[in-house]
Structure 1
């Protein structure tokens, strides 16, 4: 058996994945990390807990790839069959690793319980396999040769999979022949710009033969731009990518809110904390989603004063002091009500800054004048009021709420950076 290519295949294992009960949360992360390490992924599969079929599939993939990585199926139950399928594909038997078994027993003793007999399955490995320690859980991974390929089994829980990959696999990938060029990669995040608008303004930077290469991913109003270049002996890739990052910041200005692992809520929360700016939120259509995103930021208690979820009109009157005449004349979804909500939240919470959301998330409740997806935002800053109108695509209630919550955060960001740009 010989390996035909230097590419990598990823196999997510589990009947629950095939049934649609759970989504695979490992494949995308693995593909990105492997590409950066010079191991581009050419194939991703979902396979069930059928040992014979899984064994045949793994054997076939190992004939065409230098590296095949599985995730899942390493637990202690009878339907966790990845280790058995891997042994079949490698043409060997399963054997107990005494050190792993002792470690499992000790882990249970430390928790004050005896190890169930079923956990002994987690100490079984194909003969000749290299054990990959799991610092985040009880299921170790392993690496076993199948022909000229490496077959690697990683645990299914994402935190455990990442821990095993980074600690026990990534440092050893250079020992596998046929690897490609490592790539240096950075990310830039923008808000409030469509993919097509970005492409028009980016121009030739988006060409497939450009250096560095750029790609873009859109989600809920956020654009994530990936910039990457092949790494050589020197620092040319870093210089190329840094230059393009600077170009993007100049060209897109205030649309850029962060880089790499930054997210919008964290950027806003940290700016509030750094400036000591107290904040409150008043929400109708988003139902507490804005507040939820903000309070996930460590340290936000220093500045976050209060969140109001005033879904009913009467709640807007009683909790925020919105004038009933405004509601009778304009309805809840309008600029005057959004501003009144923001003012009420700021005054009652004694906050310098407040944002409010009121809109129609759908799927019902829209009209020709106020369609589903229409959201008005109110912003109160040191007593000054303003309002912003946004019409989001009617792609479902949760989508509209997510767009609206992120827009509210971006309005806070704009107010902190420059009131005129908010």
Structure 2
């Protein structure tokens, strides 16, 4: 989801490496979202991932673990704990550390209960997952069958290693709670200030990272003990502040003072979540009228649970005839100014407001490109309108000469930010 674009922080307290196993990751059939998520979680602890390694299923994981454990203080291995023949992460780690394996009664009971609930027998292949290397600790998997395993550093002392090794399942719904509940507490215990460490993510929108740097970075860098980082998201930028409570609070206040109007959340909520939450609190309704984005704005809004309480109408009026029929846009207005114009965006928003009976209506009309542009209105041009009951309709022109998918993302983000600003009483 995010790309780290800048990091200003002290050297990591621990060297941590990720080993990801899965042929589907190597082939590109599956995107490795686990690595991005773990990187963010570790950054919150003040630890930068020093290296990521991806290997296919099977024996390649043994060499990858061996190399990582010889370098790192902590190794997190994901995948290869299942019941199939190419799931060999558990066995490979045991062999590297010279550990025998025994069947764990607690894991066996978990597997039996798991499959009994589903009216299935526990197969011999499934019971492989109950084999635990002697000296390793079992990490409970509340959302799957394969438990995680923790190997404390002393188990590798005979090889000259000082690495704490964690074996984790691959599915995101299984690995995430295990990292939060089992891995992070152990890592905090390994770091001098891990228990008292804090991290705040201030999510900003409507402003680029370079402007953030210009407006606030020097002052933030001057705060002793404050670690600062930036991450680009989906049309927004996270400002990450980490360290002890005092420096983090000071840094957060600097961002609020310098960039407050651009802050959309301090709890990592994205813009559509903030919009739905704000509308719910105020008891207001929103409607949308989209042309070039083809329903993308409505899709983002309805991705949020509870959207049905505040979002009742989403029009996709791609053709001029649809704008006339469903939104009441006058034909002569379309002919005189063209569909991509300030007057048409205004008429779309006001027509949408009237037809839907909502409190607010957003309209979008533009040229997604790469074809269809003119010298006056090049591809990437878009007009966004916002009409609200009892308030003046506002139309803004934007220019996003980029790929169609990115165009839709940034356009929908700009539209929602216009509404966010109106609801917060900020200039649009």
* Aligned counterparts, 1:365-404, within 5 A: 365-382=372-389, 384-394=392-402, 396-404=403-411
Matching of residue 325 in structure 1 with residue 332 in structure 2: yes
Shift of 1:258: 1.4
* Aligned counterparts, 1:350-361, within 5 A: 350-361=357-368
Pairing partner for 1:29 from 27, 33, 37: 37
Range with bigger deviation, 292-301 or 65-74: 292-301
What is the rounded CA distance, in whole Å, between the counterparts of 2:421 and 2:188 in structure 1? 45
State the match for 1:47 in structure 2. Answer: 55
Contact (CA 8 Å) 1:122, 1:140: kept in 2 or not?
A: yes
What is the rounded CA distance, in whole Å, between the counterparts of 2:231 and 2:203 in structure 1? 10
State the match for 1:146 in structure 2. Answer: 156
What is the rounded CA distance, in whole Å, between the counterparts of 2:333 and 2:377 in structure 1? 16
Aligned residues: 406
Shift of 1:163: 1.2
* DSSP-derived class of the 2:408 partner: helix
Contact (CA 8 Å) 1:352, 1:382: kept in 2 or not?
A: yes
Pairing partner for 2:203 from 178, 189, 203: 189
**Cα RMSD for the two superposed structures:** 2.2
Structure 2 vs 1, CA of residues 268 and 134 (structure 1 numbering), >3 Å: closer, same or farther?
Answer: same
Matching of residue 337 in structure 1 with residue 347 in structure 2: no
* DSSP-derived class of the 1:26 partner: helix
What is the rounded CA distance, in whole Å, between the counterparts of 2:298 and 2:266 in structure 1? 23
* Aligned counterparts, 1:10-409, within 5 A: 10-37=18-45, 39-51=47-59, 53-144=60-151, 145-147=155-157, 148-174=162-188, 176=190, 179-182=191-194, 183-205=197-219, 207=221, 211-229=225-243, 237-382=244-389, 384-394=392-402, 396-409=403-416
Shift of 1:134: 0.5
Structure 2 vs 1, CA of residues 139 and 323 (structure 1 numbering), >3 Å: closer, same or farther?
Answer: same
Shift of 1:329: 2.1
Shift of 1:172: 2.8
Shift of 1:412: 0.9
Shift of 1:93: 4.0
What is the rounded CA distance, in whole Å, between the counterparts of 1:47 and 1:180 in structure 2? 33
Range with bigger deviation, 408-417 or 200-209: 200-209
Q: Deviations over 1:15-45 (max 9, x none)?
A: 1111111111112322333343455432221
Contact (CA 8 Å) 1:305, 1:350: kept in 2 or not?
A: no
Contact (CA 8 Å) 1:40, 1:180: kept in 2 or not?
A: no
Q: Deviations over 1:90-129 (max 9, x none)?
A: 2234443233123212211111222344322322333332
Range with bigger deviation, 16-25 or 238-247: 238-247
Range with bigger deviation, 16-25 or 119-128: 119-128
Shift of 1:409: 0.8
Shift of 1:355: 0.4
What is the rounded CA distance, in whole Å, between the counterparts of 2:281 and 2:224 in structure 1? 38
TM-score (norm 2): 0.88
* DSSP-derived class of the 1:292 partner: helix
What is the rounded CA distance, in whole Å, between the counterparts of 2:234 and 2:182 in structure 1? 35
Contact (CA 8 Å) 2:202, 2:268: kept in 1 or not?
A: no
Q: Which runs of 5+ in 1 are unaligned?
A: 230-236
What is the rounded CA distance, in whole Å, between the counterparts of 2:383 and 2:177 in structure 1? 43
Matching of residue 7 in structure 1 with residue 15 in structure 2: yes
Matching of residue 421 in structure 1 with residue 422 in structure 2: no
What is the rounded CA distance, in whole Å, between the counterparts of 1:303 and 1:378 in structure 2? 19
